[in-house]
Amino acid sequence: MSAFFDALREKIVTDQRITDAEALQLFESDDLLAIGELAALANERRNGRRVFFNVNRHINYTNVCVNQCRFCAFCKEGYEPEAYTYNLNQILQKAAEARDAGATELHMVGGLHPELPFEFYLRMMATIKANNPQMKIKAFTAVEIDYFATIAKLPVEEVISELKRCGLDSTPGGGAEILGEAVRSQICPEKISGERWLEVTEKIHQGGLKSNATMLFGHVEGYADRVDHMAKIRTLQDRTGGFQSFIPLAFQPDNTRIPNAKGPGGIDCLKTLAISRIYLDNFQHIKAYWIMLGLKIAQVALSFGVNDLDGTVVEEKIGHDAGADSPQQLSKDEILRQIRNAGKIPVERDTLYQDLQVYGEHEGEDADEDGADNA
């Protein structure tokens, strides 16, 4: 086995890509620490000791959704008592709270609502931007953008350019789940195909917007499905370069309709994050979304190839409706503490990964732009 790890190490230090078969072999290995060491090396070469986070706020404008994915505890039918849709004033109120709390980004996604017209979303963007010109808006998954094209009877390209015109700055990575159809037909049969997700994402990139890519893992999929998923994403990234970060999402099982799926354990989470770092050689950032992973695994992941801890979040519903036991929000100080205690250099970023502030390694210290200590 160590010859295998030596060969992969050689590939990493000579910037060669690992194959799908090698990624599968990594998933099948029990040597978590050897996998983690390779991932840490790959990350160190790319990002040094810097770990990104941002100050953001999630706004989920509606949970009413025509798709009813089996893994989702957030989505509701319009008649259910927990169904909600925020009006524009409520959304503006949350945006103003976020701005006053120092947020630089709103992360906005929601269900595929059967009645809201495309104009609602355009007005939402334009009004938020008019009231908060400095705020970046990361909103609408490829699944939503495809849905807007259907309800507005417009080409996807036009939907993207209209949203951009009204203030959209980038799009999040949701809706990818597992891209292979064999899994998709079991966990989200009503959702657009994996192929369509890739097509719409390509158009988002061609339209001049950056996006992310997620992978929902720990339900019915096998290791080969994860590798296939990452292969499709790596291939698209080769073509467009439009992905900013890859985000493995640990499945939360409560209140969902996937019988017997318990979600991944800590070892599987770390292994998956680490292998994604090694395999996705054309991604700059691997994000540990602490909401789904739990804060402790997310912190340990910083030694397993991860260089982004997402953000402060503030009002998380999708994971918590499904039983996530993480907090619903973190203060900036808490994020700084988590990163520093992992022996890393915290960097507050904006939506497009521009440095906003590089922090010292220890509380009370300052650092240069390149992360070198001044203290």
**Residue 121 or 197 having the CB closest to ligand V47:** 197
From 26-34, 44-52, 222-230, 250-258, span contacting ligand V47 (CB under 6 A): 250-258
Q: Which is nearer to ligand V47, 122 or 286 (CB)?
A: 286
The residue within the footprint of ligand V47, chosen from 110, 172, 264, 305 (CB under 6 A), is 172
Sheet holding 308-311, edge to edge: 308-311, 50-54, 345-349, 355-358
Gap between the Cα atoms of 366 and 129, Å rounded: 33
In this structure, the strands spanning 345-349 and 50-54 are parallel
Question: Are the C-beta atoms of 226 and 27 separated by less than 8 Å?
Answer: yes
**Which residue in 251, 283, 290, 304 binds ligand V47 (CB under 6 A)?**
251
Nearer to ligand V47, 12 or 309 (CB): 309
Within 13 Å and on the Cβ side, how many CA atoms surround 65?
A: 23
- Does residue 214 bind ligand V47 (CB under 6 A)? yes
Our finding on whether 173 is near ligand V47 (CB under 6 A) is yes
Nearer to ligand V47, 180 or 319 (CB): 319
Q: Does 371 bind ligand V47 (CB under 6 A)?
A: no
Q: Do 214 and 176 form a contact (C-beta atoms < 8 A)?
A: yes
Which CB sits closer to ligand V47, 264 or 360? 264
- CA 230 to CA 288: how far, in whole Å? 16
256 interacts with ligand V47 by CB under 6 A: yes
Strand ranges across the sheet with 56-59: 56-59, 105-108, 136-139, 170-171, 210-217, 243-250, 285-286
Q: Does 174 bind ligand V47 (CB under 6 A)?
A: yes
Q: How many CB atoms lie within 10 A of CB 258?
A: 17
Q: Report the nearest approach of ligand V47 to the CB of residue 258 (Å).
A: 9
Number of residues this chain uses to bind ligand V47 (CB under 6 A)? 22
Q: Is 322 in the site for ligand V47 (CB under 6 A)?
A: yes
Considering only residues 295 to 314 of the shown chain, the ones binding ligand V47 according to CB under 6 A are 310
The minimum distance between CB 71 and ligand V47, in angstroms, equals: 5
**Nearer CB in complex with ligand V47: 175/360:** 175
- Minimum CB separation of residue 251 from ligand V47 in Å reads 5
Compute the least distance from the CB of residue 262 to ligand V47, in Å.
12
CB nearer ligand V47, residue 111 or residue 360: 111
110 near ligand V47 (CB under 6 A): no
Pick the closer one to ligand V47 by CB: 11 or 203: 203
Task: For the chain, give percent helix, strand, coil, nearest 5.
Answer: 45, 15, 40
Backbone torsion region of residue 244, taken as left when φ is above 0, otherwise alpha when ψ lies between -120 and 50, otherwise beta:
alpha
Q: Contact with ligand V47 (CB under 6 A): which of 145, 216, 275, 335?
A: 216
- For ligand V47, give the closer residue by CB, 18 or 247: 247
Least separation in angstroms between residue 66's CB and ligand V47 is 15
Q: What is the DSSP track for 104-141?
A: -EEEE-----SS--HHHHHHHHHHHHHH-TT-EEEE--
How near is the Cβ of 166 to ligand V47 at its closest, in Å?
20
State yes or no: residue 247 binds ligand V47 (CB under 6 A). yes
Contacts of 177 (CB under 8 A, 6+ apart): 69, 71, 183, 184, 187, 188, 191, 194, 214, 215, 216
Question: H helices of the chain, where?
Answer: 2-13, 20-28, 32-47, 88-100, 118-131, 142-152, 156-165, 181-187, 194-206, 223-240, 266-279, 290-293, 295-301, 318-321, 332-341
Q: Which CB atom, from 286 or from 367, has the smaller least distance to ligand V47?
A: 286
Residues lying near ligand V47 in the complex (CB under 6 A) are found at 71-73, 172-175, 177, 212, 214, 216, 247, 249, 251-252, 256, 289, 292, 310, 318-319, 322
